Amino acid sequence: MSHTPLTPQQHIAYLEGRRRLFLQVVGGWPPNVQGDMLQEVRNAIQKDLAYVVAFLRDFPGNLAGEEVYADLLRMAHNADVPEAGAEAQRLLLDILGRHPESYSANLSIACLYVCSSQAHSPDAERYFRKALELKPELPDPAIYQGLGFSLLYQGKTEEATAQFEQYLKHVPGDTRIAGLLNKLASGEQPRPVYVESPHP
């Protein structure tokens, strides 16, 4: 019995579904899981990275494939997969060099940078703002949260507070950000915690 090969669109649909699953657990820093569960996520994301490598070998230059590969690498970085952060940064900068209007690449590199180091905060802010500019009618709440942190890490507390408030309009149940806003309102400056930075 023969099997009909998947089309590029079907491969991408599968990978986008996987990417959305990983976003819930390692989409930000620190990850939402630890210990054995984080190891399971690390193993799963590495299998999906291998899947995308094979896909891009069969369909070289597929932009959607490159975008999802870069974002999976970014999340693998959050899951402590060695070299994933540096490779995500390299690929994202390459994509943006060829496709500066790529919403996915702008958002992904912004998320990578905001979790990487305080020195990357201005770049994170710039890429978050670009992503918002590209999709103003349907903004991802993660943009407001990321903007908030990138501004906070630059000492722009008032602007950061406004972005966190905007984020909570979209995600009112996020008690972590609500608690952060309470700390900022009381004058406390939370100390940032970063995943190890990719090479600049």
Phi-psi region of 167 (alpha: psi -120 to 50; beta: other; left: phi over 0): alpha
pLDDT digits (tens, 9 = 90+) for 38-57: 999 999 999 999 999 999 99
Percentage, residues of the chain above pLDDT 70: 93
pLDDT digits (tens, 9 = 90+) for 137-192: 888 999 999 999 999 999 999 999 999 999 999 989 988 889 989 888 888 877 66
Nearest to residue 178, comparing CAs of 161, 155, 194?
161
The residue assigned the tokens 């940032």 is 192
The residue assigned the tokens 């905007």 is 166
Q: How many residues does the chain have?
A: 200
DSSP state of 119: G
